[in-house]
Amino acid sequence: MYIRIVRHNSELEKVAEELYPLNEYCNFLSQGTIGLIQDVENILYKSFGESKSGWPEGTLESFNAIRHKLLDRAGELRRLPENITELTKEEKEEYIKEIGKQNLHKFFQWAGDIFSKE
pLDDT in tens, 72-114: 999 999 999 999 988 899 998 888 888 888 888 787 787 777 7
Contact assessment for residue 60 and residue 44, using Cβ atoms and an 8 Å cutoff: no
- pTM comes to 0.66
* % of the chain exceeding 90 in pLDDT: 63
Phi-psi region of 58 (alpha: psi -120 to 50; beta: other; left: phi over 0): left
Give the tens place of pLDDT for each residue, 15-74: 999 999 999 999 999 999 999 999 999 999 999 988 888 889 899 999 999 999 999 999
Distances in Å between the Cα of 26 and the Cα atoms of 5, 10, 67, 71 are 13, 26, 19, 14
**87: burial class by Cβ within 10 Å (0-12, 13-18, 19+)?**
exposed
